[in-house]
């Protein structure tokens, strides 16, 4: 078994919040972890420099997608080999293959935390983060060929559609994969985060956990961003920590747009109780 525990999600589903909680829990400091510490807490498997050495020194932003997929297992093996113990790694890739190559090296993997969020709210957050209108966000989430482009900050990540992404990580139960709904993290953060600590064999310390929950609250994270900025903010957005609440879609999406989302993602939305009443 490997050492990597993936913190995995479709984009804009709570990945950063999970990393903030864990950063604060592990640091157990008297003050909240900085956003720089949050970013560094979990290894970014898509960081360009991790790929340069396996692509003959080629500029990572120009590496063809098939070549990225080919070397990705080597990058993951190197991440696991560099750590003497469990290492958390962030991923937005779906659990599958691209061009015949696995997007996650299972030999380097010890487990995963997968966060799923109501796709109606994901669409709203993606509008802000990627500079899309509502219909463009809906199309983006329905496209089985969706991948984020490589740039100076990240090599391409292969998402597929929202439904495929969710199904790929959650269709089969596995004892080393903890699946959490973003909405349950909002309503019962203690229960949600306790499941994660159990996965990585961290002793349950209620006082320490409650402190980490407070230190990683959305209000606290937003305040830190207002004071110091955040490197993961998209240039399309005024801030990364924009709202963090649920049911934002109700004031943004039209009935027709909601119906389109349900038509595209009905099976997975039913599984996770995301289909609104009267739809």
pLDDT (tens digit per residue) in 118-163: 999 999 988 877 889 999 999 999 999 999 999 888 899 999 999 9
Does residue 57 register a pLDDT over 80? yes
Residue 89's SS3 state is strand
Q: What is the mean pLDDT of residues 6-35?
A: 87
pLDDT, tens digit, 9 for 90 and up, residues 169-196: 999 889 999 999 999 988 998 898 899 9
248 pLDDT above the threshold of 80: yes
Mean pLDDT of 59-83: 94
Handedness of CA 136, 138, 144, 150 (dihedral sign): positive
Which range marks the domain in which residue 84 is found? 4-117+145-232
pLDDT at 271 over 70: yes
| pTM confidence score | 0.90
Residue 131 domain-assigned (yes or no): no
Q: What is the 3-state secondary structure (H, E, C) of 137-172?
A: HHHHHHCCCCECCCCCCCCCCECCCHHHHHHHHHCC
Beta bridge partners of 197: none
The Cα–Cα gap between 81 and 17 comes to: 26
Domain assignment of residue 76, yes or no: yes
pLDDT at 153: 84
Print burial letters for 238-273: b (CB count within 10 Å at least 16), e (below 16).
eebbbebebebbeeebeeebbebbbebbeebbeebe
Does the residue 106 lie in any domain? Answer: yes
pLDDT at 103: 98
Of the candidates 10, 1, 21, 11, which has an alpha carbon nearest to the alpha carbon of residue 195? Answer: 21
Residue 164: pLDDT over 60: yes
Q: Do 11 and 46 form a contact (C-beta atoms < 8 A)? A: no
Tell me which of 264 and 172 has the higher pLDDT: 264
Q: What is the CATH number of the domain that holds 48?
A: 3.40.50.300
- Residue 260 falls within a domain, yes or no? no
b/e sequence 96-115, b meaning 16+ C-beta within 10 Å = eebeeebbbbeebbbbbbbb
Q: How is residue 108 written in tokens?
A: 């380097």
pLDDT exceeds cutoff 60 at 268: yes
Percentage of the chain modeled with pLDDT above 90: 58
pLDDT band at residue 234 using 50, 70 and 90 as cut-offs: very low
Residue reference for tokens 């604060």? 24
Q: Which of 140, 107, 129 is nearest to 13 (CA)?
A: 129
What pLDDT shows up at residue 128?
77
Q: Is 152 part of a structural domain of the chain?
A: yes
Q: In the 8-state DSSP scheme, what is residue 202?
A: -
Burial of 277 (0-12, 13-18, 19+ CB in 10 A): exposed
Q: b or e along 130-163 (b: 16 or more beta carbons within 10 Å of the residue's beta carbon)?
A: bebebeebbebbbeeebbbebeeebbbbbbbbbb
State residue 256's pLDDT score: 97
Averaged pLDDT, 58-73: 92
Whether 125 is in a domain gets the answer no
The pLDDT of 23-39, averaged and rounded, is 81
pLDDT at 27: 86
User: Is the pLDDT confidence value at 235 over 50?
Assistant: no
Residue 79 in tokens? 């991440």
Distance CA 254, CA 188 (A): 30
pLDDT tens per residue, range 82-129: 998 899 999 999 999 999 999 999 999 999 999 999 999 999 988 877
The domain tally of the chain equals 1
Q: How confident is the model at residue 219 (pLDDT cuts 50, 70, 90)?
A: confident
């Amino acid at each position: 078994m490997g050492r990597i525990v993936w913190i995995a999600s479709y984009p804009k589903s709570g990945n950063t919040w999970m990393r903030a909680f864990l950063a604060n829990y592990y640091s157990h400091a008297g003050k909240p972890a900085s956003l720089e510490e949050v970013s560094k807490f979990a290894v970014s498997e898509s960081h360009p420099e991790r790929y340069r050495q396996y692509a003959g020194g080629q500029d990572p932003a120009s590496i063809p997608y098939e070549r990225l997929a080919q070397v990705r297992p080597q990058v993951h093996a190197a991440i696991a080999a560099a750590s003497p113990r469990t290492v958390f790694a962030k991923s937005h890739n779906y659990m599958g293959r691209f061009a015949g190559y696995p997007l996650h090296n299972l030999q380097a993997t010890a487990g995963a935390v997968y966060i799923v969020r109501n796709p109606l709210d994901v669409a709203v957050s993606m509008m802000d983060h990627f500079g899309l209108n509502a219909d463009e966000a809906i199309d983006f989430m329905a496209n089985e060929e969706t991948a984020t482009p490589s740039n100076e900050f990240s090599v391409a990540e292969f998402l597929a559609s929202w439904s495929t992404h969710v199904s790929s990580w959650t269709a089969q139960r596995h004892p080393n994969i903890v699946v959490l709904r973003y909405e349950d993290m909002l309503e019962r953060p203690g229960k949600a985060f306790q499941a994660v600590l159990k996965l990585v064999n961290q002793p349950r310390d209620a006082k320490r956990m409650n402190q980490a929950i407070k230190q990683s609250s959305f209000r606290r994270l937003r305040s830190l961003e207002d004071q110091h900025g955040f490197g993961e903010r998209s240039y399309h957005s005024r801030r990364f920590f924009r709202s963090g609440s649920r049911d934002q879609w109700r004031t943004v999406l039209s009935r027709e747009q909601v119906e389109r989302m349900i038509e595209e993602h009905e099976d997975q939305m039913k599984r996770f109780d995301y289909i609104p009443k009267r739809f």
